[in-house]
Amino acid sequence: MNCKPNKEQLTRRLAEIVGDDAVLADKRELVVYECDAYTLQRNPPTAVVLPRSTQEVAAVVRLCAELDVPIIPRGAGTSLSGAVLAVDGGVMIALTRMNRVLKIDPRNRRALVEAGCVNAWITRDASAHGLFYAPDPSSQTACTIGGNIATNSGGPHTLKNGVTTNHVLGYEMVLPDGTIEWLGVEPDGGEEVAGFDLRGAAIGSEGMFGVVTTVLVRLMKTPPAFKTFLCVFESVDDASQAVSGIIAAGIVPAALEMMDQLITQALEEAYHFGFPLDAGALLIVELDGLAKGVEQQAKQVDEICNRNNAREVRLAAAAAERAALWKCRKRAFGAIGRLSPNYVTQDGVVPRSKLPVIMRFIRTVSDKYELRIPNVFHAGDGNIHPLILYDEREPSQVKRALQAGHDILDKCIELGGSVTGEHGIGAEKIDFMAKQFSKDDLDAMQQLRRVFDPDKRCNPHKMFPGAKRCAEFAQKKQIPA
Ligand SMILES: Cc1cc2nc3c(=O)[nH]c(=O)nc-3n(C[C@H](O)[C@H](O)[C@H](O)COP(=O)(O)OP(=O)(O)OC[C@H]3O[C@@H](n4cnc5c(N)ncnc54)[C@H](O)[C@@H]3O)c2cc1C
């Protein structure tokens, strides 16, 4: 692989395709693109292109194939696993100018959008028809549908409705050799397609199979009734038992989210919702569906929470209160700035019944490494998000933050879980792949990757053991040995 293309020649040829105003190659402009929301590793790409059409994307990709230059697809750069790192330079193809909602089709409950379309814009446009797009990552006001496909994003409300793969019917993708393919259901096609489900195979491939350009998504009918509860507990253990109790009762809430004391205090300081500052843990439980069923489930949830020592079960009385509660939850990571200059989010999964175990373990890790670790997470899925706080100006804190994250992920594997629920492996968690998967599993994944990208030129150095690290190239000082 040619890691050091002639930059001048490359940018000139890129500009011939997309125009001068759609190529960034100046050192200062590239700073924005040197990392995603995982800021522990950084390296700038050689150039960034901002295409406006699938044809432009395909021409850029063909040029990179000709010059043997790596390509890195990018949406909004909100990945929390370093999935968009230009580890070895290369051309970053940012889809942010291809951001239109092309068509809302209420009759067939579908929307056709460009891959750079921001997640929340689909529901914004579909809501006039009583429809919504279900997967709602907390980053949904920024992240793009292309990024959601590449990471198979979840969100607070995917417990009941399923994650991205359950709502993407089909999409257009530019393969690493520049050919344009449509995978899955076509825009005017029926709901079923013949043959292998290559649509599904490429969802979650972290930008390594090609560049998604246009997407056909499924829309759902907005439920007629909602009930949203804020349940206050003295301890994380009690809240975790309530989570298990709700699921064991056969209730599948629309959302079931937990926040511990430290994150609650940061949220209250930032957004003034009225959270009790001395509570050990809070649960947000949202029920939706037909009014009668929701009413009945609400009684059960109230009873289960009280049985597990809830101090209070508060119903959001009006739509405004429900919206305020969700605003706080979805902006939780933003409130961390009140606690610490830097944080790294982990994304582990444990069986729901092991939530008390992993939460206790996180407290011991916090003590061991003398770092604060607030928690806000998708409890209903057993998908934890410990936020490890550190100060990057203190090299020993950076080292301890990394070790703390590793301990937590090792424990998730030990408990029968996974090292990612929704954020992906990216550059961050490469070392865990060999712990979670056998060599045969990894070989099979690489074989599938080679079907799409025989040269491994598309978003290289991600996911698989043996991939090179950013630190090996440029930023050794970022990660102290
Ligand atoms: C505050 C905050 C909250 C978050 N909450 C959640 C959450 O609740 N659930 C969740 O799942 N994630 C969450 N995330 C993580 C992140 O937002 C998701 O992974 C999201 O899907 C990334 O979308 P993006 O457009 O920012 O993609 P990027 O970060 O730009 O890219 C992510 C990956 O997608 C690939 N990619 C991007 N666009 C394309 C494309 N068009 N074609 C092919 N590959 C592409 C990239 O190469 C990379 O591998 C959160 C992040 C933040 C910062």
How confident is the model at residue 481, as a pLDDT?
33
pLDDT beyond 60 at 4: no
Q: Does residue 84 line the site of ligand 1, with CB under 6 A?
A: yes
- CATH 3.30.70.2190 residue ranges of the chain are 225-336
Distance CA 113, CA 33 (A): 24
- CA–CA separation, 84 vs 147, rounded Å? 10
Beta-carbon count within 10 A of 86 CB: 28
What pLDDT, in 10s, does the model give residues 46-75? Answer: 999 999 999 999 999 999 999 999 999 999
CB contact set of 10 (below 8 Å; sequence gap of 6+): 46, 47, 67, 69, 91
Residues 246-296 pLDDT 10s: 999 999 999 999 999 999 999 999 999 999 999 999 999 999 999 999 999
Atom of ligand 1 nearest to the CA of 426: 49
Structure tokens, 32: 């924005």
CA distances in angstroms from 68 to 177, 204, 354, 411, 461, listed in the order given = 10, 25, 47, 40, 15
Say yes or no: CB of residue 423 within 6 Å of ligand 1: yes
pLDDT band at 231 (very low <50, low <70, confident <90, very high): very high
Across 438-457, average pLDDT:
96
Mean pLDDT of the chain: 94
Q: Does 2 score more than 80 pLDDT? A: no
Confidence of residue 345 (pLDDT cuts 50, 70, 90): very high
Q: Where in the chain is the domain with CATH 3.30.70.2740?
A: 340-429
81 lines ligand 1 (CB under 6 A): no
**Is there a contact between 92 and 33 (Cβ–Cβ < 8 Å)?**
yes
Atom of ligand 1 nearest to the CA of 84: 48
Lowest mean pLDDT segment, chosen from 102-111, 280-289, 453-462, 463-472:
463-472
For the stretch 135-190, pLDDT in tens is 999 999 999 999 999 999 999 999 999 999 999 999 999 999 999 999 999 998 88
Question: What pTM value is reported for the model?
Answer: 0.94
Backbone conformation region of residue 21, classed left if phi is above 0, alpha if psi is from -120 to 50, else beta: alpha
CA of 249 from ligand 1 middle (Å) equals: 34
pLDDT tens, 81-105? 999 999 999 999 999 999 999 999 9
Strand ranges across the sheet with 180-184: 101-105, 110-114, 211-218, 168-174, 180-184
Percent of the chain topping pLDDT 70 = 96
Domain(s) labelled CATH 3.30.465.10 in the chain stretch across 101-221
In Å, how far from its chain's centre is CA 4? Answer: 31
Domain at 225-336: CATH code: 3.30.70.2190
CATH number of 101-221: 3.30.465.10
CATH code for the domain defined by 340-429 = 3.30.70.2740
Report the pLDDT averaged over residues 343-358: 92
